[in-house]
Structure 1
Amino acid sequence: MTLLHAGTPLRTPDDRNPLVMRRRGWWLVLIGFLLPGSAQVLAGNRRLGRFGLAATIALLVLAAITVVLWFVWRTALLTIVGNSIGLLVLEVLLVGYAVLWLMLGFDTLRLARLRQVHGRARAAIAIVAIIATVAPAALAGYGATVVDATRSLVSGVFHSSRPPVDPVDGRYTFLLLGGDAGEDRVGLRFDSMTVVTVNAETGAATMIGVPRNLRNAPFSQGSPMWGPWPNGFDCESSDCLLNGTYTYGEAHPELYPEAAAEGSSPGIEATRDAVEGVTGLELQSFVLVDMHAFESLVTALGGVEIDVPTRVALGVEGAEPFGYIEPGLQHMDGPTALWYARSRTGTSDYDRMVRQRQVQEAVIAQFTPDVLLTKYRQLAAAGADLVQTDVPQSMIGSLSELAMRTRQLPITNLELIPDAGVETGDPDFEQIHAMVQRALAEADAIAPSTESPAAP
């Protein structure tokens, strides 16, 4: 405790002694870096020092709690930092601590009295002090920008007021829609419809490709679409293909008057009811992916690796291809991956469904920790333009935890196409429901059961 006395060399050193001043300079820089605020308590403004020490200790305690929660109760941690309020608090703390670190670091440099330090030690102390001040503050500042990007993504994409939903029959099930809105088109058209259902306990996932040209989609009696279409969505024109349910719903908003307030739209709700009838699964949430923004996401990821089974033409249907994607393992950038997922030249909708599933799985596989750390802001910016969903913010934590399990397992795929025995022009829905249940059982057989389910 003698170091705190007014007469000690740290607070009132003999500045005529070069050895004392050199040692004092190094000592202040060292303790100021290891425990910010301590240099001020020992040799400067004690009030500032005590504030710095309190902030540092609080930060260390929060870091320790974070580490414990990561290993003991990860879902709770992800829930705290997965909502806009929690992220705003974290961002403010990081910015505040970065500013405080800079203040303490440069004040420590002032306290070192470098004018009284002779020789090369003066420059060495100054360089080390500046690095020890700027580097941690820059790291905290970068962390704040990452948190800000996350907060913008969470606020702009996820539903803030919708309550969490429980698993249905032990599963979370989502409707993944690939939207194709463009300047040359009136409204939105779904090019891709996929049901993603995940075992809430193990994370085992099944992806079910639903053809957009499927006819006579049935509706339950509880659906608003039952009234106008009690015998299924069936008419003579192409308006009654499965992806026509969106257009019908948008043209009849009175069927789903609460859709907008719940983060959806009448067209999406009509499509959800139709796909529920087709698959026999209850869809708790939807995720609408803009196909053009998808290109930006793949670019932000640095591209994807896809094993191409057959040659795919680059170009619109009916026109001369301007290039080809050759068979074999290919690294695709954003534009190429989008062409691969959407090309119809010399192929069919059903082939394209298989390719779309390949791209979706490749994107999931590309979300590795190193990619997230180095490209997070670009990914968050792309994601904000990419996705519309009614997934509640309150479920981000539990679903993120579940996604970590899913990434460790192979994904079971089921395509409801003629090659699998499905007659899309006159479907046998009992047959389809049985196929879906077999695929779910196959996925569940892959992963052993864990002791406790993921909390919603």
Structure 2
Amino acid sequence: MVLNILMPGSAQVLAGSRGLGRFGLRASLSFLALLVTAGVVYKVNPELVLTVATNTIGLWALATVMLFYSLLWVILTFDTLRLARLVRIRPKARPYIAGLATIVMIVVAGSSGYGAYVATTASGVLSTMFITAPSEPPVDGRYNILLLGGDSGPDRDGMRPDSMSVVSIDAETGQAVIIGLPRDLTLVPFPEDSPLNAAYPNGYGYQDFCDVTACMLNAIYTEVDQKSPEMYPNAVAAGSEPGIEGMRDAARGITGLTIQYYALIDMQGFSDLIDALGGVDINVAERLPIGGREDDLSDVEGWVEPGQQHMDGFNALWYGRARHGSSDYDRMARQRVLQQAILTQFTPANVLTKFQGIAAAGQQVVKTDIPQGALGYFTNLVGKTKALPMATVELVPDNGVDPSEPDYDYIRGLIAAALAPQPTVE
């Protein structure tokens, strides 16, 4: 029985069923060699292993191997029990031997079977969530990703992004800078190749002209999505939406950066993702209402109390969106805290142990045009990002930015300074 645990197949070679034993030994040694090889390759080139592990074919191959090994272990364990001839063992010893074999079989075969389940589920999730397209190259050594938090509440015509930022990541080191874009930014410029530049050559909302009620940054999504989707006829085929492409052009015009990818998170389902992760730990600076409006607390359902809090998704969502007694800039600051907390606490162990809930929530919550073929690279890059301090550039009055009369040359100067390589200390 110990031999079956240490090296499956060896018990059969020694005590009978040698054909099965030799097959089991070869399979066990091959599986062990595969694990060792993967570990060595990961140490040398983690991106290669992560690319295989985030590729549909690679995941199905991994699932097949793990399912095969799970079934083989079950067969070898039952055959070992047959060879041990439990009926000839002292009665008091039988339950211990049979119990040991059963526990080890459940742990090993169950873990392998669960691994196969995770691999097949991940394949479906990744195929659904990520597109099939060539990867974009870094520009000036950086990847810039537009991150949108969309709110499609019942009181709104379509979805309106209330949380907007550009995450700029050094393609080599993983050093990340979050550029916070206030939703009330006005006179947003567009690049010359943008169809919105032709409609608003002097900036969005110049002389209070636009096709929606409020001519602010977060209204661009609604205007393009509801009024002029024909501006971006190829958006859906490229894994995006006209409104998202309008926001991407706006982010390009504001920051002066090339925006290779976007990620849209639906805030209505965001709490499900937090719950699937097991909650998030945040140090709350001030008491915040759950519900309520800027000047009205009549419908408050409770409070997020100050201090170190372990929040479920519902409370974390209100921590980021609470309005009473807060400005838009306060909310932006809290949303950055929430983003960084999730990034820090989103660990591989957390994902694996709660994979089913995360997979289900992720498909409902996240939309992106990052290609599946680039996931290995970005997974490796995020590992570097997590190990480094994250800088932020908030385009708010405290940083000299007046959203009602923005100086975009000044804004781009702030961003360029934040992205400039930092001198090394000898």
Larger Rg: 1
* Greater displacement, 45-54 / 351-360: 45-54
State the match for 2:117 in structure 1.
145
State the match for 1:377 in structure 2.
356
Alpha-carbon shift at residue 447 of structure 1 (Å): 7.6
State the secondary structure of the residue aligned to 2:422. helix
Whether 1:97 aligns to 2:73 is no
Alpha-carbon shift at residue 234 of structure 1 (Å): 1.8
State the secondary structure of the residue aligned to 1:206. strand
Q: Which runs of 5+ in 1 are unaligned?
A: 1-28, 450-456
- Matching of residues 57-456 of structure 1 within 5 Å: 57-159=29-131, 161-235=132-206, 236=208, 238-250=213-225, 251-317=227-293, 318-320=296-298, 321-441=300-420, 444-445=421-422
How far apart are the structure 1 equivalents of 2:306 and 2:93? 63
CA spacing shift, 1:238–1:423, aligned 2, 3 Å:
farther
CA spacing shift, 1:445–1:376, aligned 2, 3 Å:
farther
Number of aligned positions between the proteins: 418
Q: Cα deviation per residue 1:409-439 (whole Å; 9 max; x = unaligned)?
A: 1111111112221111221110110011112
CA spacing shift, 1:144–1:448, aligned 2, 3 Å:
farther
> Is 1:313–1:346's contact at 8 Å kept on the other side of the alignment?
no
Q: Taking every aligned residue pair, what percent have the same amino acid on both sides? A: 47
State the secondary structure of the residue aligned to 2:354. helix
* Greater displacement, 29-38 / 43-52: 43-52
How far apart are the structure 2 equivalents of 1:66 and 1:75? 12
CA spacing shift, 1:397–1:448, aligned 2, 3 Å:
farther
Cα-Cα RMSD: 2.1
How far apart are the structure 2 equivalents of 1:225 and 1:93? 51
CA spacing shift, 1:323–1:127, aligned 2, 3 Å:
closer
**TM-score normalized by the length of structure 1:** 0.86
Q: Cα deviation per residue 1:80-106 (whole Å; 9 max; x = unaligned)?
A: 101222112111221121112111111
Query: One-letter code of the match for 2:389?
Result: P
How far apart are the structure 2 equivalents of 1:116 and 1:106? 16
State the secondary structure of the residue aligned to 1:227. helix
Alpha-carbon shift at residue 370 of structure 1 (Å): 4.4
Alpha-carbon shift at residue 225 of structure 1 (Å): 1.8
Q: Which runs of 5+ in 2 are unaligned?
A: none
* Greater displacement, 341-350 / 321-330: 321-330
Q: Cα deviation per residue 1:191-216 (whole Å; 9 max; x = unaligned)?
A: 10010001112111100110112112
How far apart are the structure 2 equivalents of 1:133 and 1:303? 33
CA spacing shift, 1:255–1:133, aligned 2, 3 Å:
same
Query: One-letter code of the match for 1:334?
Result: G
CA spacing shift, 1:446–1:47, aligned 2, 3 Å:
farther
Query: One-letter code of the match for 1:202?
Result: T
CA spacing shift, 1:419–1:238, aligned 2, 3 Å:
farther
How far apart are the structure 1 equivalents of 2:191 and 2:370? 23
Q: Cα deviation per residue 1:325-353 (whole Å; 9 max; x = unaligned)?
A: 33333332211111110111122212111
State the secondary structure of the residue aligned to 1:120. coil
